[in-house]
Structure 1
Amino acid sequence: METLKGKKALVTGGNSGIGYAAAKELKAQGAEVIITGRREDAVQKAAADLGVTGIVSDQGKVAAIEDLAAQVAEKFGKLDILFINAGVLGGASIEGAKEEDFDYVMDVNFKGAFFTLSRFIPILNDGASVVFLSSNVASMNAANASIYSSSKAAINSVMKIAAAELAPRKIRVNAISPGPTQTEILNKLGLDDASRKGLDDHMISKTPLRKLGTAEDVAKLVSYFSGDAATFITGAELIIDGGFSL
């Protein structure tokens, strides 16, 4: 059943991982989908594989976000679904943090996500759905994770305020907070096979459901938040981590 037929959706960071899976699911549900990413080759390949539109855009730069909004408005008109997914990993201990570490994470995860919402509000249809990709670490307190965790906690705060501000237009704003999820981003940690398996085994051991999540698990929630079944849900954070944060 195509529950999103006739709707237009934008997925930032849609060339891999959760963004790719979400774009695939939204398209399967009937939506017309646009994906973005920083690397032209990756964006165009993903767009071709998915059968969607790809636009190169860096969420870490406000000027690029504004240009993206202008392109989308000119070529596609107004949107019904905005999945603000693009994000980066990074951080250090508070004592050892460098300004460039802080700026790298915050420019994409918080500032970029904030201004993506800000600049796209004028081209959202009334009754549209906005979904932020947050993280279960937004409400956890692991050592050496202060920058990344803070970026996601800030997003959750903005999400709730945006839900209040946009409610008069019936625009719903929610967040999905995954825990340990098997995505391409874990392969960018530079670990060898043994170390990577050790990391997976450790995360699984800490998860009550004894497994890692998948990008497809998150994608289904993005689709749910974007459809008619969720028209009375706004300002909500849904944690999907197999019980990791219990």
Structure 2
Amino acid sequence: MQRFSGKSVVITGGSSGIGLAAARRIVEEGGSVLVTGSNSARLESVRDQIPGVHLLVNDAAKPEAAEALAEEAARLFGKIDGLFLNAGVGAGAPLGMISADLYRNLMDVNVGGPLFATQALAPVLRDGGSILVTASIAKDKGMEASALYSATKGAVRSMVRGFARELAPRQIRVNTLSPGPIRTDFFNRLGLPEEHAATIEEHMAASTPLGRMGTAEEAAAVALFLLSDEASYVTGSDYFVDGGTAQL
């Protein structure tokens, strides 16, 4: 299946996890991909994993980075066919421990990132293209110590509805992907001991109706559907990849 033959896609936060899995699949299906990340060493490792991938060190927390990303996408591709805004930060804190710095960081990356990226890259996106933004089931679940994080993902869902309405005249579709318990290197990046991370994953897996963690590849498969022409009549929607956690 070559759904992305001759097409170009920009993926933010694509140096690991769901973004990396999506980039790999798009290239395998004939597409060209520009991947961004804020960690230059981790981003550079993508070059060895995906032949021909384009890379850009880009910090989603900075509004000016969105303009730089749009300029690079236009330089490489002229116009793009898809935009997967996957860059985000996950951090929790209970009441009494939510600092102003944490608030600014989560809002700047999780809300400001997709907001300014959509604004900057919409003119570079072909009419009939697709935008996908990563949200989370945290916006739908009451989770301890996650009020701030959940709020940022709730904002993402609301923004996407607005973007979808505004870009509909250009036949540009805008949707959200809401992952649940997906096995990535998230806990490793937090610096948690391996044994502690394994315990958390076991608890998360047991709490899902399907009784297991999902994989980045399973989430990427849904992302690719939404980015492809197969989802040509889907916009303003929210697709859950969570083993039923938020629904059952």
Distance 2:134 2:34 in 1: 17
- Tell me the equivalent position of 1:152: 153
State the partner residue of 1:184.
Answer: 185
SS of residue matched to 1:233: coil
Summarize the alignment of residues 8-87 of structure 1 with structure 2, pairs less than 5 Å apart: 8-51=8-51, 52-87=53-88
Q: Secondary structure at the match of 1:177?
A: strand
Return the offset for 1:143.
Answer: 2.1
Report the Cα offset of residue 29 of structure 1: 1.4
Q: Which runs of 4+ in 1 moved over 6 A?
A: none
Following superposition, the deviation at residue 54 of structure 1 comes to 0.6
Query: 1:201 Cα shift?
Result: 1.2
Q: Deviations over 1:134-183 (max 9, x none)?
A: 10111111121011111111000001111111011000000110001100
- Measure the CA separation in 1 of the matches of 2:124 and 2:95: 39
Look up the SS of the partner of 1:10 in the other structure: strand
Q: What SS does the corresponding residue of 2:87 show, helix, strand or coil? A: coil
Quick one: distance in 2 between partners of 1:125 and 1:70?
15
Separation of aligned partners in 1, 2:197 and 2:161:
36
- What is the aligned partner in structure 2 of residue 3 from structure 1? 3
C-alpha displacement of 1:213? 0.6
Amino acid at match of 1:62: P
Query: By how many angstroms is 1:68 displaced?
Result: 1.5
Q: Following TM superposition, by how much is the alpha carbon of 1:48 offset from its aligned partner in structure 2, in angstroms?
A: 3.4
Match of 1:227 in 2: 228
Aligned-pair Cα RMSD in Å: 1.1
- What is the TM-score with the length of structure 1 in the denominator? 0.97
Q: Secondary structure at the match of 1:82?
A: strand
Q: Does the 8 Å CA contact 1:13/1:37 hold for their aligned counterparts?
A: yes
Aligned counterpart, 1:217: 218
How big is each residue's C-alpha offset from its partner over 1:164-213, in whole Å with a ceiling of 9 and x where there is no partner?
A: 11011000000110001100112223322322221111111111100101
| Deviation sequence 1:68-125 (CA, Å, 0-9, x none) | 1112212321110100001111131233211001111111111111111111011000
Stretch moving more, 217-226 or 181-190:
181-190
**Matched length:** 246
Residue identity in the other structure for 2:146: A
Residue number in structure 2 paired with 1:100: 101
In structure 1, what is the equivalent of residue 205 of structure 2? 204
| CA distance in structure 1 between the aligned counterparts of 2:65 and 2:16, rounded to whole angstroms | 20
Normalising by structure 2, report the TM-score.
Answer: 0.96
1:194 and 1:45, CA in 2 relative to 1: closer, same or farther beyond 3 A?
A: closer
Q: Which runs of 5+ in 1 are unaligned?
A: none
Query: Aligned to 1:89, what secondary structure does the other structure show?
Result: coil
Question: 2:116 is aligned with what amino acid?
Answer: F
Q: Secondary structure at the match of 2:196?
A: helix
Q: Is contact 1:15-1:47 (8 Å) kept?
A: no
Contact 1:35 1:47 (8 Å CA) reproduced: no
Decide which moves more: 85-94 or 40-49. 40-49
AA partner of residue 197 (structure 1): A
**For 1:44 and 1:194, how far apart are their aligned partners in 2?**
28
In 1, Cα distance between equivalents of 2:90 and 2:27: 27
The residue type paired with residue 14 of structure 2 is G
Change (3 A) 1:36 1:162: same
- 1:230: how far off? 0.6
Whole-Å Cα distance in 2 between the matches of residues 39 and 207 of structure 1? Answer: 32
